[in-house]
Structure 1
Amino acid sequence: MRTLQANPNLSAPQLAAQLHLSPTHFQHLFTANAGTTFRRYRLWTRMTHVATALTTGANLTRASADAGFASPNHFSETFHKMFGLTAKTLLTTNPTIITPNTPHSARTRR
């Protein structure tokens, strides 16, 4: 999971090869251990990469491309489908984005 968080563009076959597993077996193990499919987890990882970048002032076009989205529009449509609101709407609320790498001290609002 850390490898995928560091590089959300990796595919299941690429990660399976690194672990010397077949892609099918890798995906079964991933789902059993993560509680979600590889595809959904990778999408979530990509979303958090873009959202985190945007909260630090990054450009949407660059952030979405770096996370593996085909275009900013692809990211926006996917974001809306996943969360039911636009990324712009979320960002106007000045959110704290919590990822697995967020220090515990940053997880509580003061």
Structure 2
Amino acid sequence: MRFRLPGDERWISAKSILIPAGTRVSLENQGGVMSACYLDATKPDFQVLKRRMVSMAEGVYYNLADESRLTSGLTQLRDEAPGFAEAQLRIEALIHDCTHTSTVSTDPRIIYVIDRLRDTASMNISVSSLASEVGLSESSLIRLFSLHVGTPLRRHRLWFRLIEFVTLMLSGVPVASAIKRAGFTDASHLSRCYSRFFGVNLSYAFSKSVNARYIIDSRRAAQKKPPCQVS
């Protein structure tokens, strides 16, 4: 595939690209198969991979060392389609197995806030309330969050809402109810957010004609299933 940065007419060819959160790039996969991995902001995955990238252009890293191992591992993951827990373990292994103990760590206050955002994604807990919980001012939390995560706090909450919506949908919750429970205003709001984050239209992503397989945490999915109706 190849990529291009905003304002740059040059296309750069690469088999692997590491894109910092909040960075906009144009991608052209030339009809090939592409795998997209969204890294956990509470873990040092990005910094670990960054050190293994060979090339860099305007803050975007590309050409991973030992690229063939990553390609082989992801292809095997696609073909074998294991469950959620096994898939998570394999991805972690692909990121960390060739790396010694990392010295990179995320501020524990940011890890706490991220966990809170994940658990309360559908709720509009104010930034000032979250800041108070970790002993920071609102402005300090905003700056620290952006420094560690690379995206604004509210945008990260929106990300968790999208994950919540997908989990609810795959758990059998009706669309209208899933939209409301995930914290979106309406279907249009959800559709706009989905296309911005994932790069495809929501209707296309969930179309029966699209050959896509979603793997979610079965335990979380079971908790979200609608109750059985007894007549």
Q: Report the TM-score, using the length of structure 1 for normalisation.
A: 0.75
Q: What displacement does 1:63 show? A: 1.7
* Structure 1 counterpart of 2:197: 82
Higher-RCO chain (CA-CA 8 Å, sequence separation at least 6): 1
Percent sequence identity over aligned pairs: 27
Does structure 2 retain, via aligned residues, the 8 Å contact 1:80–1:86? yes
* Structure 2 residue corresponding to 1:73, chosen from 167, 188, 196: 188
Q: What displacement does 1:88 show? A: 3.1
* Structure 1 counterpart of 2:214: 95
> Whose Rg is larger?
2
Instruction: For 2:115 and 2:197, locate their aligned partners in 1 and report how far apart those are by CA, in whole Å.
Output: 22
Which stretches in structure 1 are left out of the alignment for 5+ residues? Answer: 102-110
Report the RMSD for the aligned CA atoms in angstroms.
2.0
- Could you list the per-position Cα deviations for residues 39-58 of structure 1 after superposition, in whole angstroms to 9, with x for gaps in the alignment? 22111111111011111111
* Structure 2 counterpart of 1:18: 133
Q: Report the TM-score, using the length of structure 2 for normalisation.
A: 0.39
2:126 maps to 1:7? no
SS in 2 for 1:69: coil
Q: What displacement does 1:97 show? A: 4.5
Q: Which runs of 4+ in 1 moved over 6 A?
A: none
Question: 1 or 2, which has the higher strand percentage?
Answer: 2
SS in 2 for 1:21: coil
After superposition, residues 30-109 of structure 1 pair within 5 angstroms as 30-91=145-206, 92=208, 93-97=212-216
Q: What displacement does 1:87 show? A: 2.2
Which stretches in structure 2 are left out of the alignment for 5+ residues? Answer: 1-113, 221-231
